[in-house]
Amino acid sequence: MKIVAIVGSIRKDSYNLKLAKYIQKRYQDRFELEILNLRELPFYDQDIEMNPPEVVKNFKQKVASSDAVLWVTPEYNGTIPGVLGNAIDWLSRVDKVMIGKPSWIVGASMGNLGTVKAQLHLRDILFAAGISSPLLPGNEVYVGAVHEKLDETGELTHEPTVQFLDTVVDHFIDWITRIS
């Protein structure tokens, strides 16, 4: 199974990027995870959506050829970061590569609520007509106080979170197998 991770933070020390890399490594025997880089994506522009820059074409192509998308999102001002919204806008137009593509969501923040509001908004956005992505039911992964759970090497040292992730990955793989 080939999954792409779309991480809503472009900073180099991003906790969410570290979480994506942790998932990539820990579950490498269960699925292949490619982490996509949003840094080079230009602002969505309807004037060029029919023939966008190569970087956009490549991004859409990677999503199109994946079996599922893992969204790894921080929370900015109570919602998803702009870079993530921008990526979604590209994906929602012209060939609409997300339609029917299964999604699951995780997110990490330093606050205790662990991106609850951002994820609620993202869940809603995934139902938009141009996205229409089936979302793993339940299994919501809110990693709060992430700075106390991920060490400097990117290892998740908080055992209950590791165990919970293991369970969610099992559920995710069962679910994908059932719906595909």
* 96 backbone dihedrals φ, ψ, rounded to 5°: 45, 60
Does residue 76 bind ligand FNR (CB under 6 A)?
yes
- CB nearer ligand FNR, residue 99 or residue 113: 113
Give the nearest distance from C-beta 78 to ligand FNR in angstroms.
5
Does residue 78 bind ligand FNR (CB under 6 A)?
yes
Please choose, out of 12-20, 61-69, 128-136, 156-164, the segment that lies near ligand FNR by the rule CB under 6 A.
12-20
Return all residues near 166 (Cβ < 8 A) that are at least 6 apart.
Answer: none
Q: Return the residue of 38, 64, 99, 110 that touches ligand FNR, per CB under 6 A.
A: 110
Does residue 109 bind ligand FNR (CB under 6 A)?
yes
Please choose, out of 6-14, 94-102, 125-133, 169-177, the segment that lies near ligand FNR by the rule CB under 6 A.
6-14
Give the nearest distance from C-beta 79 to ligand FNR in angstroms.
7
Q: Count residues contacting ligand FNR (CB under 6 A)?
A: 13
- CB nearer ligand FNR, residue 20 or residue 126: 20
3-state SS of the chain? CEEEEEECCCCCCCHHHHHHHHHHHHCCCCCEEEEECCCCCCCCCHHHCCCCCHHHHHHHHHHHCCCEEEEECCCECCECCHHHHHHHHHHCCCCCCCCCCCEEEEEECCCCCCCHHHHHHHHHHCCCCCCCCCECCCCCEEECCHHHCECCCCCECCHHHHHHHHHHHHHHHHHHHHHC
Give the nearest distance from C-beta 24 to ligand FNR in angstroms.
15
- CB nearer ligand FNR, residue 20 or residue 68: 20
| CB distance 90 to 41 below 8 Å | yes
Does residue 57 bind ligand FNR (CB under 6 A)?
no
Does residue 82 bind ligand FNR (CB under 6 A)?
no
Chain contacts with ligand FNR (rule: CB under 6 A): 9, 11, 14-16, 74-78, 109-111
